[in-house]
Structure 1
Amino acid sequence: MHITMQGIYKAFGTNQVLTGVDFELKEGEVHALMGENGAGKSTMMNVLTGLHSLDQGKIFVDGKEMYFKNPKEAEQAGITFIHQELNIWPEMSVLDNMFIGKEPKKAFGLVDSAKMKSLAQEQFARLDVSLPLDKEAGSCSVGEQQMIEIAKALLTKAKVIIMDEPTAALTEREIQKLFEVIASLKKEGVSIVYISHRMEEIFAICDRITVMRDGKTVDTKAIPETNFEEVVRKMVGRELTDRFPKRDSKPGETVFEVKNLTGKAFRDVSFSVRSGEIVGVSGLMGAGRTEIMRGIFGLDPIASGEVLLNGKKVTIKNANQAVHLGIGFITEDRKDEGLVLDFSIKDNIALPSLYSFAPKGLIQEKAEKDFVDMLIKRLTVKTESAETRVGDLSGGNQQKVVIAKWIGIGPKELILDEPTRGVDVGAKREIYQLMNELTNRGVAIIMVSSELPEVLGMSDRILVVHEGKIAGELPQETATQENIMTLATGGQ
C-alpha cells in the first residue's frame, strides 16, 4: 500500500496542531516518524486513520484520493494503528482483548473459541510471548499489555501498521523479537510507520525518516543519508550536546534503605540510596523491579522486611504515608496511575501538595497558581493554559506533568519508574538535567529503566533484578550492557 498525505492542516479549537504536513509511505518500507512531544506525529496518523477529520489537505491511498470516517473503516482497508496509550479492557481476558468486536464465528453465529485460541497462540509464538490466554488483562504488566496490542494488530493481516512507541515498555529480548517480526512483515510487502524517540532503533530498522517540528514536516531522508546529530538538530531546532549531562553530584549519607524486603513478586531485597545519588534498577520485564517499588511506596502489601528513612524505621502502608514522609513515586503507567486525565494540568500538579496550600482548610488560590505556573515553566510543558485538560496533552507532556507533580512535594526520596517512557530526545535531556539538579540538592533517586543506555548514562550505581531478587550491584565505572544482561538473565 502506498500512502501520500499533502498539505495536512488540523486544529483543535484555537490550537493549531498540524500546519501543512506532507508525508509519503511507500509499499514495504519501514518509515520512521520523529519529532518532539507535541510536534503532531500522532495527530497526523489519527487524521490518516479517521480518528480526527482533517481541516485542509489531501490523502491518497494507492493513487486514489481517500478519507476514512473512523479507525474501523481504515482497519477494514488494511491500516492498523498500535497507539502509544494502550487500549486494554482490564477486566477482560487476554484472549477476549485480542478479538473484541472481531470474534470468528461458527454456524448460527456462535463464537469459535477454538479458532480464537489457535490464532492468538500463533501470533504469541511469532512474538515469542508466553502469556496465559485466560489471564485478566488488567493484571498484566505494561510490557505484556504492549505485546497483546502488537499481537492484536498482527491478527488483522494489515497492509500498513502504524506503531507509536511500540518498544517503550519492552525488554531488550522482546524488542529484538519485534524487530524480527517487522523484518518479516517488510518482506511480505507490509509498510510500517514507526514512531519512536529511541534513536538507536530508528537507525537499526528503518529505511527512511521524516522529521516533524511544531506541526510541520521539516525533512524526509533515507536513513543512510543522515545521522543522529542531524536528526536531533532538525527535531529541536538547535544543537543538542552530549546525550547524558555530566553527573557532578557527590553522594552523602544514606537517606533511604530497605532490609530483607519480601512481597508477592520479590523476596529478601536489600539496598540503600544516599543523598545526591541516583541508583539505577535494571532487569527483564517481569523480574519484579516495579513490584519492589510499589511495595516500598505502600501500593502493594509487604510480607516482611524493613524500610528505613534517615536511619529510622518507618511504616508505609499506603501512598499517603509515603508522601508525608517525603517519598515521591513516578509510576510507569502514567495513564491509569500517574494522572487524573479529566482533571486540569493545575489540579494534577497540585494534587499531592494540596495540604501546603490550605493551612486553615481553604486553598490559597494565588499560591497554588504561582506554584503550578513555576513547575509548568520549569518542565517546559507545552500548553496554552494550566487549566488545559491533561488528557488533551501529548504523551510526553503528560509525563512532564507527572514529574512536576512529584517534584512539587519537595521529596527526600524520589522513585522514577521508566521516567522518560514516550518522551522525545530533547525532553529526555531536560529530565536528566532536572534529575541532576535534584541530586545536587541532596535528593536520593531510584531510577527503574528498561533503556540500558539510560541506566548506564545516569546512574551512580546499578542494581540488577532477576526473578524477584537483587542479582548483583554494579558501580557505574565498570558497568556495561553485557554484564547487566548477564545478571538480568541469571548469569554470574
Structure 2
Amino acid sequence: MSADPHEPALVLSGATKSFGANLAVDGVSFSLAKGHVHALLGGNGSGKSTLIKMLAGVERGDGGTVAIRGHSIPLAEMTPARATAAGLRFVHQQRSTFPELTIAENLAIGGNGFPVGAGGRVRWRAARREAARVLAKYDIDAHPDQLLGELGPARQAMVAIARALQTGHADNGILVLDEPTVSLPDTEVRLLLDAVRRHADQGQTVLLVTHRLEEVFSVADNAILLRNGQLVAEVAPRSITRADLVELIVGRAVDEIAPDTSAERGPIVLEAQSLCAGPVGPVDLTLHAGEVVGVAGLVGSGRSSLLKSLFGVLPIESGSVRLHGTALRLGTPRDAMRAGIAFVPENRAEDAAFQELSVNDNMSVAVLLDYWRGGRLRAGVQRRDARDLLSRFLIKAQSVDESLSALSGGNQQKVIVSRWLRRAPQVVLLDEPTQGVDVGARHEIYLLIREAVEAGAVALVASSDSEELAAICDRVLVLRGGRIVGELSRDELTSSRVERLAHGQEKEVTL
C-alpha cells in the first residue's frame, strides 16, 4: 500500500526532558510536512539543542514519542542507531567532515564505507564513481578527487549535507540542519540556502535550526517557536512581520536596531603602521576613543589574524603599534592585557570557554590575581563580584557556581564578554561576537559594546555578518588578501557596499 502523500513526515508528541530541577523541554508537540523547510526557532536556552539531541538519541527523553512513517518510537528509548534507521539525518554546527581528505573519501566515510575488492583493497575507481554520482545528484560543483578544504565554506556544508543524505531517501527521511550557516559570509549563506530549498522542492523534509531571521523569511515554509522549553507558536513566515517574530522568540518587544552610533569621536587610542603578521599586511590602522570600528572580509581575508596580532597571539613580523602614542611590544597576550587590550575570540568553545569550570571561575580568570592576598584566595569577594556581574551583564544562570556548560550559548558568550569588559579595557577586540547568539542576547551584547566605548574605549569588531557591521559600527574597514581595500564611513555604510568591496566588485577606496 502506498504512503499517504498528506501524511506528516514526522510527528513529535509530548517531548519532555529535565536536567535536575531544570525542565529543559516541556511537553513539546509538533509535526513536519513532507517536502517543506521547517525553521526551529527560540532564544538561547529555549530547548532547541536539547530537543535535537533527543531526536538524535544523544539525550534520552523523559517522556514523549516521535513517529516517522507511522512508526512510533518512545524518546526514552531513542538511540543514534534507531534515529538513523528511522530516517533522521543530522548535520551539526561542528561538522565531522575532514578538510584534508578528498571529497570521495569524505563521502565514503560518512556513507556506506569504501568499496573493497580482493584482499580488502579499496576500489578507488568505484569510490570516485559513487562520489561523482552523489555530487551530481545534489548539484554540487566539485570533483571527487578535490580536497574538501579546497572548497568554499558553503560547498563544504553542501558536501556534509550530501554525505548525510546519500544513504537515505528524500521521500521518507528528515534532514536536521543545526546552525549550518553560523560562520558563513552572506554570499555563501545564499548559496547554501538555495541548495536547501532545492532539496525541499525535490521532496526532502528539512528541520532548520537557526538564529538568523533573514534565513527564516527567505527559505522556511513554517516556523516552530520554543521559549523556556515550551512550544509557543507555529507560524508561516510569509504571514508575520519580523518584529512580531522577534517578540515571539524573546517573549517581549525588542528593538533590533543597534544602540545609537552617533557618539563624538575622541582622541586616537591605537595606531598601527605598516603592520605585517602572518597573512595580514601591510596594514595602517587608526582607532579613536568612543567608536566601534568593523572589520569585514571574506573567509581568509585576514579578519581574525588582524585581531590576533593586536592581542599578541599572532607574532607581528614588521611594523609598529602605538597606544596613546606609546610604542607597544605585543609578543604575548600578557603584553596586550597589561597594555589594556581585551580579546573575545571567534571560537568560544576552543579558545575562550572553560566549559567544566564554574561561571565564577570563567568570569574571574582574567583578573584572578586581584583576589589573592597574603597567599590566600579571597573566594567570598570573588563570588560577590561574580554575582554583581551576572546582574550587570544580564546573564541567566542559577548561580555563579553553576558550570559554564550548563548555560545557553548566548549566556556563555555574555560570560566571556563580561570577563574582559570588567577590566575596563582601552581597546576591545571582538571576533564574531554574536555568532550563534539569539536576537535578544545579541542586542544586549551590542549595548555592552556601546557602553564600553562610551566610557572611552575603542572596539574593533570582526564579523562575517555585513548587516551586523552596518548596524553597530561607526565605520567599517574591508580586508581582502590581508590588506585594507576600503573604508566605509557611517554615512556610506550599507551591507551591500561591504559585500561588494569584500568581493572586489567595487573599486578599492584609497585610504
TM score, norm. by length of structure 2: 0.88
Greater CA deviation, 369-378 or 413-422?
369-378
Q: After alignment, is 115-124 or 247-256 more displaced?
A: 115-124
Q: Which residue of 2 aligns with 1:424?
A: 438
- Which residue number in structure 2 is paired with residue 55 of structure 1? 62
CA contact (8 A) 1:249 1:439 kept: no
Tell me the residue number matched to 2:90. 81
Corresponding residue of 1:104: 114
What is the Cα deviation at residue 166 of structure 1? 1.3
Secondary structure in 2 matching 1:442: coil
Residue of structure 1 in register with 2:426 after alignment = 412
SS in 1 for 2:491: coil
> How many residues of Structure 1 are paired with residues of Structure 2 in the alignment?
489
1:462 to partner: Cα distance: 0.5
CA offset at residue 449 of structure 1? 1.0
Asked if residue 33 in structure 1 is aligned to residue 40 in structure 2, the reply is yes
Corresponding position of 1:257: 271
SS in 1 for 2:280: coil
| Alpha-carbon offset, residue 441 of structure 1 | 0.6
Larger displacement relative to structure 2 (44-53 or 147-156)? 147-156
Query: In 1, distance between residues paired with 2:331 and 2:319?
Result: 13
Runs of at least 5 residues in structure 2 that lack an aligned partner in the other structure:
1-7
User: Aligned partners of 2:151 and 2:390: how far apart in 1?
Assistant: 33
Structure 1 unaligned spans of 5+: none
CA separation in 2, counterparts of 1:333 and 1:179? Answer: 23
In the TM superposition, 1:177-216 aligns within 5 A as 177-216=191-230
Q: CA deviation at 1:123?
A: 4.5
**How far apart, in 1, do the equivalents of 2:130 and 2:345 lie?**
33
Alignment identity in percent? Answer: 31
Distance 1:144 1:362 in 2: 54
Amino acid at match of 2:230: K
Deviations along 1:17-52, one digit per CA (max 9) or x if unpaired, are 011111211111100111110000111111112111
Name the structure 1 match of 2:164: 153
In the TM superposition, residue 425 of structure 1 has moved relative to its aligned partner by 0.7
Measured at CA, do residues 151 and 287 of structure 1 come closer, stay the same or move farther in structure 2, by a change above 3 Å? farther
1:104 maps to amino acid: F
Structure 1: distance between partners of 2:434 and 2:381: 29
| Structure 1 position 434, deviation (Å) | 1.0
Counterpart contact for 2:158–2:195, Cα < 8 Å: no
CA contact (8 A) 1:117 1:133 kept: no
Does the CA-based 8 Å contact 2:256-2:439 persist in structure 1?
Answer: no
TM-score normalised to structure 1 length: 0.91
Structure-2 separation of matches of 1:143 and 1:263: 27
| CA–CA separation in structure 2 for the residues paired with 1:405 and 1:357 | 14
Counterparts of 1:373 and 1:132, CA distance in 2: 55
Q: Quick one: distance in 2 between partners of 1:147 and 1:419?
A: 25
Distance 1:129 1:267 in 2: 32
User: What secondary structure does 1:405 align onto?
Assistant: helix
Query: What is the alpha-carbon distance in structure 2 between the residues aligned to residue 94 and residue 322 of structure 1?
Result: 40
Q: 1:284 to 1:101 in 2, by over 3 A?
A: closer
**Equivalence map 1:53-452=2 (5 Å):** 53-67=60-74, 69-87=78-96, 93=101, 99-100=108-109, 102=111, 103-107=113-117, 108-113=119-124, 123=135, 126=139, 149-150=160-161, 152-157=163-168, 159-452=173-466
Amino acid at match of 1:479: L
Other structure's SS at 2:492 match: coil
Pairing partner for 1:20 from 23, 27, 31: 27
Whether the aligned pair in 1 keeps the contact of 2:466 and 2:495 (CA below 8 Å) is yes
CA deviation map 1:106-126 (0-9, x unaligned): 125444555556666765994
Mapped partners of 2:268, 2:30: distance in 1: 53
Q: Which moved more, 1:57-66 or 1:145-154?
A: 145-154
Separation of aligned partners in 1, 2:295 and 2:19: 40
Q: For each residue in 1:184-229, what CA deviation from the matched residue of structure 2 results, as whole angstroms up to 9, or x when unmatched?
A: 1112211111111111111010000111110000010122222212
Give the greater-gyration-radius structure (CA). 2
Deviations 1:101-148 (A, max 9, x none): 65323125444555556666765994557999658x7x9999897666
Kindly provide the amino acid, as one letter, of the partner of residue 450 in structure 2. Answer: N
CA 1:384–1:118 in structure 2 vs 1: closer, same or farther (change >3 Å)?
A: farther
Q: Does the C-alpha gap of structure 1 residues 157 and 472 become closer, same or farther in structure 2, counting only changes over 3 Å?
A: farther
Deviations 1:274-317 (A, max 9, x none): 11110011111111111111122111222211111111111111
State which drifts further: 391-400 or 328-337.
391-400
Does the CA-based 8 Å contact 1:143-1:169 persist in structure 2? no
Contact 1:123 1:155 in 2 (8 A): no
**Secondary structure class of the residue paired with 2:464:** coil
- Stretch of structure 1 that moved more, 51-60 or 234-243: 234-243
SS, match of residue 226 in structure 2: strand
Q: 1:147 to 1:358 in 2, by over 3 A?
A: farther
Contact kept? 2:153, 2:188, Cα under 8 Å: no
Task: Call closer, same or farther: CA 1:304–1:241 in 2, change over 3 Å.
Answer: same
How big is the alpha-carbon RMSD for the aligned residues of Structure 1 and Structure 2? Answer: 2.8
